[in-house]
Amino acid sequence: MQRIQCHRYGGPSEMRLEQVDLPVPGPGQIRVRVRAAGANPADGAIRSGRLRLVSGHRFPRGLGHDFAGVVDAVGPQAARHRPGAEVYGIRGIREAGAFAEYLVVDEEKAFPKPSALSFELAAALPMPGVTAWSALHDKARLRAGQSIFITGCLGGVGRAAAQLALMRGAEVAGNCSAASREEALGLGVGDVADYRGFDPAAHRGRYDVVLDTATALTMSQCATMLKPGGVAVHVAPYKLPACLVRRRHKVAAGSPTPEHMAGITDAAQQGRLIPKIGRTVPLADAIEALTDQETTGRPHGKLVITFGA
């Protein structure tokens, strides 16, 4: 089988599409024939080695984390999924390897794919959806009637957060490019600002929650925008030490739990949480597309790698 991997940490040029042995599921594991895999900004950060304290030093290292596919085989003691079941999920930082024709995963880390979503849409959902769910439900405790400002409200996490916040009955504001204003309004964002030249002081004391998905604001700028008792949530692991000593600031991460996945699966099944795909490419063209996305910031929407049926 083929998978994209690297033999050392570094830039996009370290990625290789190589032939590897078909993995065999162990006890409590399943093998998934991947139908689609979603790219995330975190993929480049992990491959570069910036998170090597978490990702480890074993090579060659498979790349990619979000996947959707069909169970191909089950290992001993695996009872949650049967061959032929459609599943999706997130590979851990150490394991990775979603940019591959097959992968092996612990059965409790694969979840039934929402039947309302294609494999491509399902692969675009896990990490952004889980991060947004964690930010709003676990960290901010967002309630109906509250107000939230989302930086990058049309990005992967931002779009998911806007949809989930609206589902909770919150009032949503956010920023994006001026060219995308109508798209944000169509999503349900009520007050849309241009991220270029955005002035947090003009939004002083207006929000119960500020969710900085774009890592565009300082902690002080987020605090300026909060109402008394409000909470700022950051999608930036490096801010965790500072957040530990600042009660109004929290960090959200994309580590899935069964509760997270059940929540985003249900929202997707209802048609209330739908990611946007900017580009799909076959595995053979994936390295070029991943490099282009990392170096230029395109596409507008998720990059999804597809595999034959």
Q: Side-chain half-sphere of 199: how many Cα atoms within 13 Å? A: 2
- pLDDT classification of 51: cutoffs 50, 70, 90: confident
| Lowest model confidence (mean pLDDT) among 116-125, 148-157, 162-171, 243-252 | 243-252
Looking at the predicted structure, is the pLDDT value of residue 255 above 90? no
Q: Are 278 and 254 in contact (CB under 8 A)?
A: no
Same domain for 214 and 133, yes or no, is yes
Same domain for 45 and 88, yes or no, is yes
Same domain for 103 and 134, yes or no, is no
Same domain for 158 and 64, yes or no, is no
162/58: higher pLDDT: 162
What is the average pLDDT value for the chain, to the nearest integer? Answer: 93
- Looking up residue 149, the CATH number of its domain turns out to be 3.40.50.720
Using CA atoms, how far apart are residues 101 and 104, in angstroms rounded to an integer?
11
| Lowest model confidence (mean pLDDT) among 9-18, 31-40, 187-196, 228-237 | 228-237
Same domain for 63 and 88, yes or no, is yes
Q: Which helix or strand (DSSP H or E) is residue 231 part of?
A: strand 226-234
Domain membership flag for residue 267: no
The predicted pLDDT at position 199 comes to 96
Domain membership flag for residue 105: yes
Looking at the predicted structure, is the pLDDT value of residue 299 above 70? no
Using CA atoms, how far apart are residues 151 and 251, in angstroms rounded to an integer?
15
The predicted pLDDT at position 245 comes to 66
As a whole number, mean pLDDT of residues 264-283 equals 96
- Looking up residue 9, the CATH number of its domain turns out to be 3.90.180.10
As a whole number, mean pLDDT of residues 228-252 equals 82
Other Cβ atoms within 10 Å of 72 Cβ, number: 18
Looking at the predicted structure, is the pLDDT value of residue 59 above 90? yes
The greatest distance separating any two alpha carbons of the chain, rounded to the nearest whole angstrom, comes to 59
Domain membership flag for residue 201: yes
User: Could you tell me the residue range of the domain that residue 155 belongs to?
Assistant: 128-251
Same domain for 172 and 90, yes or no, is no
% pLDDT > 70, the chain: 96
The predicted pLDDT at position 120 comes to 98
55/77: higher pLDDT: 77
Same domain for 93 and 14, yes or no, is yes
Using CA atoms, how far apart are residues 73 and 88, in angstroms rounded to an integer?
15
Contacts of 294 (CB under 8 A, 6+ apart): 12, 44
Total residues found in the chain within this entry: 309
- pLDDT classification of 297: cutoffs 50, 70, 90: confident
Give the DSSP letter of residue 134. Answer: I
Q: Encode pLDDT of 154-193 as tens digits.
A: 999 999 999 999 999 999 999 999 999 999 999 999 999 9
Closest CA to 2 of 71, 47, 60, 89: 60
Domain membership flag for residue 228: yes
Domain membership flag for residue 270: no
Using CA atoms, how far apart are residues 253 and 234, in angstroms rounded to an integer?
9
How many folded domains does the chain comprise?
2
Domain membership flag for residue 256: no
Same domain for 79 and 152, yes or no, is no
Domain membership flag for residue 144: yes
Looking at the predicted structure, is the pLDDT value of residue 54 above 90? no
The values of phi and psi at residue 25, to 5°, are -70, 135
The predicted pLDDT at position 33 comes to 98
Same domain for 107 and 215, yes or no, is no
Same domain for 189 and 112, yes or no, is no
Which of 35-49, 140-154, 226-240 reaches the highest mean pLDDT? 140-154
3-state helix, strand, coil split of the chain in percent (to 5) is 35, 30, 40
Q: What ranges make up the beta strands (E) of 75-206?
A: 86-90, 102-106, 110-112, 147-151, 171-176, 191-194
Same domain for 82 and 169, yes or no, is no
The predicted pLDDT at position 253 comes to 79
As a whole number, mean pLDDT of residues 116-137 equals 96
Domain membership flag for residue 192: yes
The values of phi and psi at residue 272, to 5°, are -105, -5
Same domain for 71 and 92, yes or no, is yes
Report how far apart, in Å, the C-alpha atoms of 241 and of each of 135, 214, 234, 247 are: 17, 19, 12, 12
Instruction: Name the pTM for this structure.
Output: 0.93
At which of 205, 235, 251 does a domain end? 251
